[in-house]
Chain A
C-alpha cells in the first residue's frame, strides 16, 4: 500500500515545505519529521513528509548490487 515517492526539498517555512517530484512542485507538511533541510531527499505521502531518504544508504545499495553483478560476470 501507501504510494509514497521520493522528492527533493526546495524550501521550508514553519511547518510546511515545498518539494519537487520530477518537474512537479507541491507543498508538504513537516509535522511528522524533524531536521529536514533544503536539498534533502524525502518520502511524500498524502501531503506529508514521512521520512528522509539516506543518500549514503542509496549509494551502499548500489554498491552491493554491483558486487552481485561482478560475481555473476566472473567466469
Chain B
C-alpha cells in the first residue's frame, strides 16, 4: 500500500532530484554560514479548514520557525503517518497543498517517509517535519532575545487570533455560519525585507499555540526588564472578535500561523513598520508596546479604560464557555 501511495500520489506532486534517488539519506551541497534546524509535528483537527489544510500548515509552520530564527528556509523533510482507509482525494489535496507551498518558497523536500497505521490509531494524517535554513548574518540573536533592553518596541506583523478562530469554527460548522479564514502563510518574505536592520532587531517569534500572550510571557520570564502592551493597539478582525465575544475565547491566546512578534530598537521601529506595511502580509503591522525597566519579568496589559492587568501563560487549550 505504501509503495503504491508513494508512486501514485507523492511522487507526481513532490518528486525532485533528492527523492528520485530513493536512497536512505539526502546528500546536500555545502553551504556557507551557520545552519538553522527546526523540528515540528502537525496534528491539527480538522485537517481541512478555511484558508488551508494540514499540508499547507506543515510547510508554512516549518518555514516560519526558521524565518523567525533569522534563517532563510533552504530545505525540508516530511514524515507522514496515515490512518488506514483515508480517502485518496483527501490525501491528494494535502499533498498538492504542500507542493504548492514548497514551490512558492523555492525550497527542496529532501527526504520523505510514509507509514500507515490501523484505523483509529491516528486522526487521518499526522505530519512531522524538519526544516533546514541558512542563518542571515546579524540576525543570529533574534531567537534568544539576549539583546532586548528597556525602551525597545514590541511590533506585531498583523491581526491576531485568525488561525485559532478558523479552527474553532471548523469544529462547529452547524452552529457558526461565518467562515473565518486562517492566516496560514509563510512570513519569510517579510523578514527578508527587514533583515538589513540586523542587530536592531532583538527578538522574533511566531505566536502559534498559546498565542501572543504566551510568547510575550515566555520571553519575559525571569528577565530584568518587563513588557507593557496596550490592548487598544492590538488589531483583531471583526469576525474573530465576534467569535471570541460569543464563546468566551481571548484572542490574545489563540494561535496564529502567518504572523510574528518582534522586539526592535526604538530608533528603527518606524522604518520597520513602513517596510512591513508595504507588503500584503504585513499591511496591519503595528507597534503594540514597549520594554520597560519597571515590572521586571512581567507582561502588563493596559486596558482600554486605563486600568492594568497581568498577562500570564495559558494553561491548556483555550476552551469555549457559557459563564
Chains A and B share a contact (CB less than 8 Å): yes
Binding site for B on A (CB under 8 A): 1-3, 5, 18, 20-27, 44-47
Task: Tell me which residues across on chain A come within 8 A of B247, comparing CB atoms.
Answer: 3
Query: Given A18-B177, A47-B175, do A24 and B242 touch, yes or no (CB 8 Å)?
Result: yes
Complex: how many Å from CA A16 to CA B232? 35
Task: Tell me which residues across on chain B come within 8 A of A1, comparing CB atoms.
Answer: 323
Q: Once the chains bind, are B176 and A24 in contact (CB under 8 Å)?
A: yes
Task: Tell me which residues across on chain B come within 8 A of A2, comparing CB atoms.
Answer: 322-323
Complex: how many Å from CA A21 to CA B178? 10
Task: Tell me which residues across on chain B come within 8 A of A20, comparing CB atoms.
Answer: 242
Binding site for A on B (CB under 8 A): 175-178, 180, 237-243, 245-248, 321-323
Q: Once the chains bind, are A24 and B239 in contact (CB under 8 Å)?
A: yes
Q: Once the chains bind, are A25 and B177 in contact (CB under 8 Å)?
A: yes
B306 to chain A, nearest CB (A): 16
Query: Given A26-B176, A26-B246, A27-B177, do A3 and B237 touch, yes or no (CB 8 Å)?
Result: no
Query: Given A18-B177, A27-B177, do A44 and B246 touch, yes or no (CB 8 Å)?
Result: yes
A10 to chain B, nearest CB (A): 10
Q: Once the chains bind, are A26 and B239 in contact (CB under 8 Å)?
A: no
A9 to chain B, nearest CB (A): 14
Task: Tell me which residues across on chain A come within 8 A of B178, comparing CB atoms.
Answer: 23-26
What are 20 A-B pairs with beta-carbon distances under 8 A? A1-B323, A2-B323, A3-B248, A3-B322, A5-B245, A5-B246, A18-B177, A21-B246, A22-B239, A22-B242, A23-B237, A23-B240, A23-B241, A24-B178, A26-B175, A26-B176, A26-B177, A26-B178, A45-B322, A46-B322
